[in-house]
A and B are shown apart, each in its own frame.
Chain A
Amino acid sequence: MSGWQTVIGLEIHAQLATRSKIFSGSATAYGAPPNAQANLVDLGYPGVLPVLNGEAVRMAVKLGLAINARVATHSVFARKNYFYPDLPKGYQISQYELPIVANGAIDIVLEDGQSKRIGVTRAHLEEDAGKSLHEGLPGVSGIDLNRAGTPLVEIVSEPDMRSAKEAVVYMKKVHTLVRYLEICDGNMQEGSFRCDANVSVRKAGTHKFGTRAEIKNLNSFRFVERAINYEVARQIELIESGGQVVQETRLYDPDKGETRPMRSKEEANDYRYFPDPDLLPVELDAAFIDSVRRTLPELPDQKAARFASQYGLTPYDAGVLTASRELAAYYEEVVKAAPQDPKLAANWVMGELAAALNKDNLEIGSGRLPAARLAQLITRIFDQTISGKIAKEVFESMWSEGASADQVIESKGLRQITDSGAIERAIDEVMTKNPAQLADYRSGKDKLFGFFVGQVMKATGGKANPAQLNELLKKKLSG
């Protein structure tokens, strides 16, 4: 693979979180029985007309402002014409030449800590199609038009990404952003957030783009990464063996882990775009755009920068903690209640808590461990009631039993021993029981210090204050 450069652009489809569809009053809720949420407009009945949902426009404007894009004061809906059973009108209403959002940018932070700016060519509003159903319908195909007319914003990036990993980081960033803006629920299983990846390769050092393939409908971060990696390898192998990449749409098969052509060239569609005469151009004035601007929340980048400076976190930690609004809010609540050591709070939130959530497949907003409880635990570490090590044990009980830190500490008697007399007694006992090790230590085997620490901790049930123990042990051992 060396000597080749990968070029990737993503088209992300985010379903807008409006209550009703983009051109009809039907509900957009997921999971209704087939066609229960399809009215005459969604079914494309003769004579019906689309009426634009203003909320969808507001959400697209919000996105545009959040990525520093140009929000068009004049944008136009066009018809994309093709026949398909899940497309009732025989055309999809989308924006073509004049999208509502253009020329934005999104900054991503790569694994090595480097940041990179990804251009957003455009973001446009469009309606989703329905879907065909085959399961449980022998001999026929069913059509469910519940999703037909669901508002989407399609966010088209520049071909600025150079690896599958970068593409995933970018997609995650967009995912974070749309949820911050509360314009999309980001639910990838339900198809609310998905992407098409345009992938090509070129010889390193050349400027001309290679022929690209478009991988359609990737609905998980993992699939995006795998599909792109497969596709890159396929293209390089193809070229190196003397072949040529064909511009085509491909589908990723997650079971086989491969991409394959979706439509043959003979069926290539000419979409015959033209402005939809049923809809007026969308005209936005500065006052409206400003009113939307005032509803923008603190954005992920702003929040991360603030976390870094206000709480003394590394940019990486700040980025992790601000990946969702809920996580960031949780962290801030912990810090507010336990302000002594924000860095320690960050470690707990990103470490034990994240692992526990992950293990039980829970979201931060699940309420399993309220921020105030975690704050209490952290306070107990800080005020030396318990050690960091014991705290992990306390955390586990808190998590599994739903108890508070103080309850666990009391009921299990985990309070840290800070009484130097008690610690000294424990040290004396250990020294008496291990005369050989004591002799070795005193004859220069410094490494045995750790052995004695372990023994004393064992004897005190791990409750001895580590700093005190160190100090007293050193003194005692050296005689």
Chain B
Amino acid sequence: MVAFHTSTLTQLAAGLRQRKFSSVELTGACLARIEAHQGALNAFISVTREQALKEAASADRALAAGTGGALTGVPIAHKDLFCTQGVRTSCGSRMLDNFISPYDATVVARLRQAGAVMVGKTNMDEFAMGSSNETSYYGPVRNPWDPSLVPGGSSGGSAAAVAARLVAGATATDTGGSIRQPAALCGVTGMKPTYGRVSRYGMVAFASSLDQAGTLTASAADAALMLREMAGFDANDSTSVDRQVPDYVAALGEPLGGLKIGLLREFFEKGLDADNERRVREALRVYEGLGAKLTEVSLPHLPLSVPVYYVVAPAECSSNLSRFDGVRFGHRCENPRDLNDLYRRSRGEGFGAEVKRRIMTGTYVLSAGYYDAYYLKAQRVRSLINADFNRAFQSVDVLIGPTTPTPAFALGAKTSDPITMYLNDIYTIGANLAGLPAISVPCGFVRDLPVGLQIVGPHFSEARVLSVAHAFQQVTDWHSRIPGSYA
């Protein structure tokens, strides 16, 4: 069988179309690899072996008939907060441990439509709340580069699965950096599109105004291939935007010449690990070598993004998670005495500590007498941050900087101090608050651990962001590095 783990998603899709190998073979190999490493990585919550092999067989028939789509037969994994019909959708929570979704999320349906084969559902921080994958009810995911370290979060399972090449691509979601931060920490490519570019229908909501679905893949080219299928207006999501989806794959070759790159001054200030900074600056020199022009820009309100985020996101989550009440689905406590007991114990038992912390924070900032001081003020500052970005994009094409302040940290290192944990998202949150597309690509190593480079573009500039990332990956090979144990 093919050494599929050294192939990119793009190569696998092409190989299948050329009938070099079958989807059943490929999917079988993929499942075997997932199962072999599940114990060490814990990247999956559910592996859907039987269904996957059935889908693969049907993909093979389509390929034989020449009726396949762009991803026909390619095994992929979904973060476990995308609803998948007939398959548990747990969101990494005890609350939904028993939840079998009766429907497919739009993202899932579209990738299925494109022919992709789902091999399983990846582990994640509970309800996507976390930056280390340590809040999962199913236990933490390990970083393939060093099992004593976290993979980042909340899409830690998807990132680790791609980093260890258990799958060539996985879906993920990003509310404050949940795609890009684990991408950086695991040395893979993580793409978060513009808010509204990809439907949120069927994606269990954490913070509705920030959540956006995206991809974790080995390369920007693979991200382009997946995103092309996922993106587009969905009548079921009022916040999805009715705007044509460009051919991201075709746009990858766009020349970089004259690209104006903005260096965010605020990203290089205090808190950034010196070695991380060195890798990022080296990457910038690569871009200069490709003909790009660097200018420093300042977004004065950006340093406020963490406090703004930790008001807005918990506020929305406190309301979004109210539906988990033990009545219609999900965890229900044993023998409730009365209605309040049903609510208290079902929620008390079903949710973990971080989720409770955010529900309480959110409830507080929305409560009478505090709304203006917290939620309303946060929304005002959010507008200022948005305006800062818009201003910056009048003079530069993209903003480039680090994805995270440091490489991956040890399991347990930050669990006792939520604030330190929250600061891990300091560079990524801005793009969520402003709804901008952003990608993290590997740009080197620090102490044998991958470092991520973040590229942020104006609204709906996915094609540009992907092509800028792709250009870098054409002249570097950081994205092709595979952790030793998985090579």
Residues of A in contact with B (beta carbons under 8 Å apart): 40, 43-52, 79, 81, 83, 85, 88-91, 143, 270, 272-274, 277-280
Contact = CB atoms under 8 A, between A and B. Distances in A.
B51 interface: no
Interface stretch (B261-269, B362-370, B412-420): B362-370
Interface stretch (B132-140, B149-157, B186-194, B200-208): B200-208
A239 B316 CA distance: 44
B238 A52 contact: yes
Contact of A79 (B201, B319, B343, B363): B319
Given A47-B205, A49-B236, 16 more contacts: A45-B329, A46-B101, A46-B204, A47-B81, A47-B89, A47-B105, A47-B204, A48-B201, A51-B236, A81-B319, A83-B325, A85-B325, A90-B322, A272-B318, A277-B207, A280-B238
B102 A45 contact: yes
Given A49-B201, A51-B235, A43 B328 contact: yes
Interface string B336-380: 000100010000000000000000000100111001000100000
B445 interface: no
Contacts of A48: 201-202, 236
Contact of B368 (A50, A79, A270): A270
A155 B83 CA distance: 38
Given A270-B368, A274-B371, A46 B99 contact: yes
A440 B100 CA distance: 101
Interface residues of B, number: 46
B166 interface: no
A49 B237 contact: yes
A103 to B, nearest CB: 24
Contact of A89 (B202, B236, B323, B368): B323
Contact of A40 (B103, B200, B239, B327): B103
B169 to A, nearest CB: 21
Given A47-B205, A49-B201, A277-B208, A40 B315 contact: no
A272 B367 contact: yes
A271 to B, nearest CB: 8
B91 interface: yes
Nearest to A52: B238
Contacts of A46: 83, 89, 91, 96, 99, 101, 204-205, 323-324, 329-330
Nearest to B234: A49
B319 A83 contact: no
B200 A44 contact: no
A47 B238 contact: no
A88 B328 contact: yes
Nearest to A145: B328
Nearest to B209: A277
Indicate the member of A52, A90, A91, A273 with the most B CB atoms within 10 Å. A90
Q: Which of A47, A79, A85, A90 has the most CB of B within 10 A?
A: A47
A43 B368 CA distance: 28
Interface string B222-249: 0000000000000111110000000000
Contacts, number: 103
Interface of B: 81-83, 89, 91, 96, 99, 101-103, 105, 200-205, 207-209, 235-239, 315-316, 318-319, 321-325, 327-330, 339, 343, 363, 366-368, 371, 375
A44 B368 CA distance: 25
A49 B238 contact: yes
A272 to B, nearest CB: 4
Q: Which residue of B205, B207, B322, B343 has the most chain A CB atoms within 10 A of its CB atom? A: B322
Contacts of A89: 322-323
B203 A44 contact: no
Contact of A47 (B83, B319, B325): B83
Given A46-B91, A277-B208, A83 B202 contact: no
B328 A272 contact: no
A270 to B, nearest CB: 5
Nearest to B343: A83
A280 B240 CA distance: 10
Nearest to A51: B238
Contacts of B238: 49-52, 278-280
Nearest to A272: B366
A47 B107 CA distance: 12
Contact of A81 (B99, B101, B203, B322): B322
A319 B131 CA distance: 68
Contacts of A79: 319
A96 to B, nearest CB: 11
Nearest to B89: A46
The residue in B203, B239, B323 that gathers the most chain A C-beta atoms within 10 A of its C-beta is: B323
A91 B322 contact: yes
19 contacts: A40-B103, A46-B204, A46-B205, A46-B329, A47-B105, A47-B201, A47-B204, A48-B236, A49-B201, A49-B236, A52-B238, A89-B322, A90-B323, A270-B368, A272-B318, A274-B375, A277-B239, A279-B238, A279-B239
B366 A44 contact: no
A315 B237 CA distance: 51
Nearest to B199: A49
B88 to A, nearest CB: 12
Which of A46, A47, A49, A52 is packed against the most chain B CB atoms within 10 Å?
Answer: A46
A132 to B, nearest CB: 10
B34 to A, nearest CB: 24
Given A90-B325, A278-B208, A49 B315 contact: no
Nearest to A279: B238
A46 to B, nearest CB: 4
A40 B329 CA distance: 11
- Name the residue in A44, A45, A52 with the highest tally of chain B Cβ atoms < 10 Å from its Cβ: A45
Contacts of B237: 49, 51
Nearest to A271: B368
A272 B319 contact: yes
Given A44-B328, A46-B96, A272-B367, A85 B339 contact: yes
A279 B205 CA distance: 14
A48 B103 CA distance: 10
B121 to A, nearest CB: 13
Contact of A44 (B91, B208, B323, B339): B323
A379 B208 CA distance: 69
Contacts of B201: 47-49
Contacts of B327: 85, 88, 143
Contacts of A273: 366, 371
Nearest to B105: A47
Contacts of B103: 40, 45
Contacts of B235: 51
Nearest to A50: B238
Contacts of A280: 238-239
Contact of B316 (A40, A43, A45, A277): A277
A47 B202 contact: yes
B441 to A, nearest CB: 29
B200 A49 contact: yes
Contacts of B83: 46-47
Nearest to A91: B319
A455 B80 CA distance: 96
A279 B238 CA distance: 6
Contacts of A49: 200-201, 236-239
A272 B205 CA distance: 18
A242 B60 CA distance: 85
Nearest to A143: B327
A90 B363 CA distance: 13
A277 B204 CA distance: 14
B368 to A, nearest CB: 5
A472 to B, nearest CB: 82
Contacts of A279: 238-239
B102 A274 contact: no
Cβ-closest 7 pairs across A and B: A90-B322, A277-B209, A272-B366, A277-B208, A47-B202, A44-B323, A46-B204
A51 B101 CA distance: 20
Contacts of B343: 83
Contacts of A40: 102-103
Nearest to B342: A85
